[in-house]
Amino acid sequence: METPVSILSVKDLVIKFNLRGKTLTAIREASMDLYKGESLAIVGESGSGKSVFNKAFMGLLDKNGWVESGSILYKGKDLANYKTENDWLKIRGKEIAMVFQDPMTSLNPLKTVGKQVQEAVELHQGLRGEAAKKVVLDILKDVGISEPEKRYRQYPFEFSGGMRQRVVIAIAIACRPEVLICDEPTTALDVTIQAQILQLLKGLQEKYSLTIIYITHDLGVVANVADRVAVMYAGDIIEIGTADDVFFDPQHPYTWALLSSLPQLGIKGEPLYTIHGTPPNLFKEIKGDAFAPRNPRALQVDFVHRPPYFEVSETHKAKTWLLDPRAPKVERPKSIENIRAQWGVL
Amino acid sequence: MSTMLNKPNDGIDETLFTLAEYDARAAELGGYSNYSYWRSTWQVFLKNRTAFVLMIIILVLLIFTMIQPYLPNQKLPNEIYLDPATKMQLRNHPPDAEYWFGTNSIGQDLWARIWSGTRTSLYIGVVVGFLTAILGIIVGAIWGYVRRLERLFTEIYNVFDNIPTTVILVLLTYIMRPSLSTLIFAMCITGWLSVSRMIRNMIVIIRDQEYNLASRCLGTPTGRVITKNLLPYLVSVIMLRIALAIPIAIGSEVFLTYIGLGLPVDIPSLGNLINEGRLVMMSASLRYQLFFPAIVLSIITISFYVMGNAFGDAADPRNHV
Amino acid sequence: MNTPEKLLEIKNLSIEFGKKKKRFIAVNDVSFDIYKGETLGLVGESGSGKTTIGRAIIRINETSHGDILFKGRRINGKIDRALDQEVIRKIQMIFQDPMASLNERAKVDYIVSEGLYNTRNYSTEEERKKKVEQALLNVGLLPEFASRFPHEFSGGQRQRIGIARTLVMEPELIIADEPISALDVSIRAQVLNLMNDLKKRLGLTYLFIAHDLSVVRFITDRVAVIHKGRIVELAETETLYKNPIHPYTRGLLSAIPIPNPKLERERQVSFYDPGTHKYEGDAPKWVEAEPGHFVLK
């Protein structure tokens, strides 16, 4: 069997922001490997840092943010050291491209769709004029836009939400990137359009050998597209594994809480399992496990020492003291066991 | 911290591996932020050095104009001073130790006149600024929020807008005798228009936001929606407008004086002083009579403009980073 | 068995926007009833008209044809002041975006009491304070939060403040317009539990407007599916999910992603072709396919 090749390797990344004179630590020593050709889903709620984490790979951090420590190794280069726009221009588009959440604001309303895709083609594939236009029409066909000749001359406002997102995807793949980062690509779309867009992305991934990172909070989307899943909480990746690992054998209490609280899995008449409280204040330094105050199954050590990764299997690891051999045997909540039974996993 | 632990050799106390007590209430108190809008606005404003310095200068100026009459050895602004030697009017006496700013063409002390004039002009500016703001806000708010009256108000605005302000100012000052109150009245009548338009435009933008719909669902009457929901968002814009209105009003007063419709000569104002100075500016030795009031006017105008704009920028929450 | 009381009846409601050539029919001949004590789901995609219906019930939008009856009395169109006051008290709304639905410049105390001030539903200041305190406790917030401003709270907490604001009016019907769409996944569970709990304790009735069919299954008793201004199917929740009849409903259900990787890989999506139903030609018929299960044919 082929050993997967890691094309992006993040180690102990720390990203800070300067907000109104105070320092906020948005990413706290997060580590992750991205393997060629896979679909990795990064799941987290607001404040988990998932968008910031991915923006760091393209140098899109806001002006008041910076990489404090850690490394982002991409094809032998450490992106964490990139400071100037020139450095990033070699990465953006050509190597790593991004699809944003809101197709309404991602496109320039004053230029025709064809022109916008063509700009990307001319910039990254070095073609001009008629040759470029032909490539554009091919790409438009690839992303499922019918009548590309007619659509080429139209403006974004003449497209529906789903079609606009297809155009955004077209611009992204026109750059022929290695890695495509999709930041909540379907959150703003209706559910039927969502299904189409996800299908499209999977098709493009095969055709162009893309490696895709999906950032989302929707576990249904994750189950649909992801080979591997990384769960983020308070700026750290607290559990990472294959989709089967994370859905059917979750180890971190936050992952349990996340899975249990899905309304789709609730039993009518009984309250859903919830996590009380709110995520921690990232302005303050966090001692121990960030999830501990909200965790009914926290150990005392969770408040004192930060847990390292514990390996559950070759593909699956989680940052929780519960996996330490010294920890008492804590049963997963009934809700998780119910889910596993429901899905016939046991 | 991606190490893999096979044997526990990190020196952590074994007894810590027991379940901790869970406090649900403590979990609820997380994520509290003590961001205060006005405090952030003030902090961003202070970062603008120029605006801060000018603000200090204006404050000093203001305090000084108020206390100047009570300082020792001050002369009266309207009194004509006589040369002790010739017992004649001390005309056009250049600045010296006794008369710090010199005297004007009929022997009045320019130092006293300038501060008296500044007091008057600032008074006019502030009163007109506030009155036009109040009138403009009332009209603009109703115009923007009450949809049934929108067309009516737009037509009224269009009518008023098409009448040149200069014509109205001239007419009013001509009909009513020139005095402080006439001037203030005339400037208010013409000044409220632009304020109301600005307020109306801003209200149209925020009137359909969800929190205003919520207030409507709860039955909140129009008046309270305007005062508690809409105007608080406009406070920074309103203050900016008042800050700019002051130099604008003073400028209008100078202009009116120039065309002969300003205040009577026995009420000194920056307009009068500049006009008098203008009359003698051809002669080099007498230029000080234009120089001093012009400097004071410039300081006031520049300061209010810069401060006003800096405050407007600082009040935008997007700049609170 | 006593038939449950009909709290709200919508009869042949149509809502149009614009005039003459630019007329847009947002809601087209919609009829349904809401019974006391139930949670009725109204599900549709964006632009289907579901929010418009909700806002018409609460009298923010005007209606063009048809009636909305609350406890037998017509509440759309021009009504007298006494009935208007009653509607304000008895029918309340929860909004979608917790970041936009609270007045940032007002304290939580004022926000929650706003309705009380309007209807003067209290006799002394003490009583008003008590009502606010009770409402905050009911939604799981601490009473000391009353002196704070909205920006100091998280999205889930703000949404709960919005709910407290409606509860203090002691309403009978609450229209929840996508109340959890803008919230994080784990917070949604909090709010859904809260809504169910309040329904049991205070005897509330909900109209739950949503675009997410997976959420709706958990919280509703009956569901109406709306597509381009028309209700295409109406049934008890379990019946609808197990046996959807209208092709649009089937398409919608098949498109929902399931949070289970194994099942997801096998899921087939069927896409609804709107061309199969040309309502301009033949008038649509509202047919009862089985007891309680209605479909538009």
Q: How far from the centroid of its chain's Cα atoms is residue B267's Cα?
A: 23
In this prediction, residue A252 has a pLDDT band, given cuts at 50, 70 and 90, of: very high
A335: Cα separation from own chain's centroid: 26
Query: Measured between CB atoms, does C142 come within 8 Å of chain A?
Result: no
Distances (CA, A) of A286 to A32, A130, A204, A303, A304: 21, 57, 41, 9, 10
In what helix (H) or strand (E) does residue C69 lie, and over which residues does it extend? Answer: strand C65-70
3-state secondary structure of C79: coil
- Among B1, B17, B35, whose Cβ lies nearest the Cβ of A306? B1
Predicted pLDDT at A339: 75
Distance CA A289, CA C204 (A): 40
Q: What is the CATH number of the domain that holds B209?
A: 1.10.3720.10
- Place A236 in a pLDDT band, splitting at 50, 70 and 90: very high
Give residue A240's pLDDT band: very low, low, confident or very high (50, 70, 90): very high
Residue B41 pLDDT:
83
CA atoms of A203 and C183, how far apart (whole Å): 31
Q: Rounded to the nearest 5°, which phi and psi values hold at A59?
A: 70, 30
In the sheet with C286-290, reading across from the earlier edge strand, the strands are: C91-94, C173-177, C205-210, C39-43, C222-227, C230-236, C293-296, C286-290
Q: How would DSSP label each residue in B205-224?
A: HHTTSHHHHHHHHTT--HHH
Q: Give the per-residue pLDDT at B2.
A: 40
| Least Cα separation, residue C27 to chain A (angstroms) | 19
Kindly state whether residue B239 falls inside one of the protein's structural domains.
yes
Residues on chain B touching C140 (C-beta within 8 angstroms) = 28
> Strand C293-296 to strand C73-74: parallel, antiparallel, or no bridges (unpaired)?
unpaired
How many interchain CB pairs under 8 A, A with B? 96
Tens of pLDDT, residue by residue over A149-202, are 899 999 998 888 889 999 999 999 988 899 999 999 888 788 888 888 998 999
Q: At what angle do helices B110-145 and B49-67 cross, to 10 degrees?
A: 120
- Find the mean pLDDT for residues A298-324: 89
Q: State the alpha helices, DSSP H only, in C58-203.
A: 81-90, 108-119, 125-138, 155-167, 185-202
How distant, in Å, are the alpha carbons of B249, B268, C259 from that of B263? 14, 8, 80
Helix locations, chain B, DSSP H: 24-28, 37-47, 49-67, 110-145, 150-161, 165-175, 180-206, 210-217, 222-224, 231-258, 270-279, 288-314
Please tell me the predicted confidence (pLDDT) of residue B6: 46
pLDDT of residue A15: 93
Q: What is the pLDDT of residues A48-100, one digit of tens each?
A: 888 899 999 888 888 889 999 999 999 888 988 888 888 888 888 888 999 98
Report the share of chain C in percent with pLDDT over 90.
46
Give the distance from CA B60 to its chain's centroid: 16
Inter-chain CB proximity B31 and C93 less than 8 Å:
no
Round to whole Å and give the CA distance between B306 and B54: 8
Suggest the residue from C87, C101, C105, C107 to mutate for an interface test with chain B (most B CBs closer than 10 A). C105
pLDDT digits (tens, 9 = 90+) for C179-197: 988 888 888 888 999 999 9
Residue-by-residue pLDDT tens, chain B, 321 positions = 344 444 455 666 777 777 777 776 666 665 556 667 788 888 888 888 888 999 999 899 889 888 888 888 777 777 777 777 777 777 777 777 777 888 877 878 888 888 888 888 889 888 998 899 899 999 999 999 988 888 999 999 998 888 888 788 778 877 887 788 888 888 888 888 888 999 999 999 988 899 999 999 898 998 899 888 898 888 878 888 888 888 888 888 888 888 877 788 778 888 888 888 888 888 888 888 888 888 988 999 999 989 888 888 888 777 776
pLDDT of residue B285: 80
Cβ neighbours of residue C170 under 8 Å, at least 6 residues apart?
Answer: C89, C121
pLDDT for the residue numbered B213: 92
The CA distance from A94 to A88, in Å, is 10
User: Burial of A22 by CB count in 10 Å (0-12 exposed, 13-18 middle, 19+ buried)?
Assistant: exposed
* Of B44, B25, B26, B46, nearest in space to B35 by CA: B44
d(CA B108, nearest CA chain A) in Å? 54
In a domain? residue B253: yes
* Full set of structural domains in chain A with CATH: 35-67+78-230 (3.40.50.300), 252-342 (no CATH)
User: What is the extent of the structural domain holding B205?
Assistant: 57-319
d(C-alpha C207, C-alpha A247), whole Å: 33
- pLDDT per position as a tens digit, C52-98: 999 999 998 889 999 999 999 999 888 888 899 899 999 999 999 99
Q: Are A66 and A272 in contact (CB under 8 A)?
A: no
Average pLDDT, chain A: 87
Interface of C with B in 248-287 (CB under 8 A): none
Query: Which residue among C102, C117, C119 places its CB closest to the CB of B211?
Result: C102
- β-pair partners for A216: A43
**CA–CA separation, B293 and A219 (whole Å):** 72
Structural domain includes residue B66: yes
Written as one letter, the residue type at A271 is P
> What's domain C6-296's superfamily in CATH?
P-loop containing nucleotide triphosphate hydrolases (3.40.50.300)
Number of domains observed in the structure of chain B: 1
> pLDDT 10s per residue in chain C (297 long)?
467 789 999 999 999 988 777 888 899 889 999 999 999 999 998 888 999 999 999 998 889 999 999 999 999 888 888 899 899 999 999 999 999 999 988 889 999 999 899 888 788 899 999 999 999 998 988 888 888 888 888 888 899 999 999 999 999 999 999 998 888 888 888 899 999 999 999 999 999 999 888 889 889 999 999 998 999 999 999 999 999 988 889 888 888 888 888 888 777 777 776 666 655 556 677 888 788 788 887
Longest dimension (CA), chain B: 110
Task: Tell which residue, B268, B222, B230, B251, has the closest CA to residue B109.
Answer: B268
CB A335 within 8 A of CB A260: yes
Neighbours of chain B (3+ CB pairs under 8 A): A, C
Tell the burial category of A103 from Cβ atoms under 10 Å away from its Cβ (0-12, 13-18, 19+). Answer: buried
Q: Taking CB atoms and an 8 Å limit, are C259 and A265 in contact across chains?
A: yes
Tokens of C93: 């709304």
**CB-side exposure of A327: number of CA atoms within 13 Å?**
18
Residue of A nearest to C255 (CA): A192
Is residue B164 in some structural domain? yes
First-last CA distance in chain C: 32
In sequence order, the 6+-apart residues with CB closer than 8 A to the CB of C25 are C14, C15, C16, C229
- Integer angstrom CA distances of residue B123 from A101, B127, B183, B309, C150: 54, 6, 12, 22, 40
- Chain A positions in Cβ-Cβ contact with residue C157 (cut-off 8 Å): 278
**pLDDT interval class at A344 (50, 70, 90):** low
Residue B70 CA to residue B66 CA, distance in Å, equals: 8
C103:B229 CB<8 A: yes
Sequence spans of domains, chain C:
6-296
Residue with tokens 């209706």: A190
Instruction: Give the pLDDT score at B3.
Output: 44
Does B19 map to a domain?
no
ipTM: 0.86
CA dihedral A323, A328, A334, A337 (to 10 degrees): 40
Give C133-155 pLDDT, tens digit per residue.
Answer: 999 998 988 888 888 888 888 88
